[in-house]
Amino acid sequence: MKNKVSARGEVCHKLIEKIVKERHKELDVLKMESKEILQNQKKKIEAIIGKMNEEIKNATKLQKVKNIIEIQKFGYIQEELDVILYTLPGFYECQIDEKDLQIYFGFIEKPCENKVTFIEGKKTSDEVEETAKPKVPAVSCVIDTGFPTNETNESRLYGLAVTDDMKLWVLGSNMELKLFDFKGNLHRTMTNKCEGVHICIQNGHIVFSDTLKNTIKRISENDTVTKLFTTGTWQPYGITATASGDLLTCLLKEDQSKVVRYSSTGTVLQEIQYDSQCQPLYNIALYVAENVNGDIVVTDYKTKKLIAVDRFGIFRYSYSGKNKDFDICSVATDSVGNVFITDYEGEKVHLLDGDGHFLRYIVPDEGLSRPRAVSIIDDELCVGECKTGLVKRIKIY
Selected residue with higher pLDDT from 359 and 97: 359
Confidence of residue 107 (pLDDT cuts 50, 70, 90): low
Of 83-92, 147-156, 357-366, the poorest mean pLDDT is in 83-92
3 state DSSP class of 73: helix
High-pLDDT (> 70) share of the chain, %: 81
State the average pLDDT over residues 297-317.
96
Q: How far is CA 25 from CA 29, 76, 91, in A?
A: 6, 47, 13
Phi-psi region of 47 (alpha: psi -120 to 50; beta: other; left: phi over 0): alpha
Q: What is the chain's Cα-based Rg?
A: 32
> Do 182 and 393 contact (CB within 8 A), yes or no?
yes
Those residues whose C-beta lies under 8 Å from the C-beta of residue 165, and which sit 6 or more positions away, are: none
Of 84-93, 115-124, 278-287, 372-381, the poorest mean pLDDT is in 115-124
CB atoms inside a 10 Å sphere around CB 317: 15
Of 29-43, 103-117, 149-163, 272-286, the poorest mean pLDDT is in 103-117
* Alpha-carbon span 174 to 132, nearest angstrom: 46
Confidence of residue 132 (pLDDT cuts 50, 70, 90): very low
Selected residue with higher pLDDT from 69 and 286: 286
Of the candidates 206, 194, 310, the one whose C-alpha atom is nearest the C-alpha of residue 261 is 310
pLDDT recorded at residue 104: 60
Of the candidates 293, 312, 316, the one whose C-alpha atom is nearest the C-alpha of residue 243 is 293
High-pLDDT (> 90) share of the chain, %: 48
- State yes or no: pLDDT of 133 exceeds 60: no
pLDDT recorded at residue 66: 66
State the average pLDDT over residues 113-139.
54
* Alpha-carbon span 175 to 103, nearest angstrom: 36
User: What's the topology of domain 135-395?
Assistant: Neuraminidase (2.120.10)
State the average pLDDT over residues 105-111.
58
Of 28-37, 147-156, 236-245, the poorest mean pLDDT is in 147-156
pLDDT digits (tens, 9 = 90+) for 322-347: 888 899 999 999 999 999 999 999 99
- State yes or no: pLDDT of 13 exceeds 80: yes
How does 184-193 read in b/e, with b if 16+ C-beta sit within 10 Å?
eeeeeebeeb
pLDDT recorded at residue 242: 94
State the average pLDDT over residues 125-154.
70
* Alpha-carbon span 218 to 206, nearest angstrom: 6
- State yes or no: pLDDT of 81 exceeds 80: no
- State yes or no: pLDDT of 130 exceeds 60: no
State the average pLDDT over residues 24-29.
86
In the chain the first and final C-alpha atoms are separated, in Å, by 34
The sheet that has 380-385: what strands, in order across it? 138-144, 390-395, 380-385, 371-377
State the average pLDDT over residues 150-172.
86
Quick check: pTM over 0.75?
no
Selected residue with higher pLDDT from 117 and 137: 137
* Alpha-carbon span 246 to 65, nearest angstrom: 83
- State yes or no: pLDDT of 283 exceeds 80: yes
pLDDT digits (tens, 9 = 90+) for 314-328: 999 999 998 888 999
> Do 199 and 206 contact (CB within 8 A), yes or no?
yes
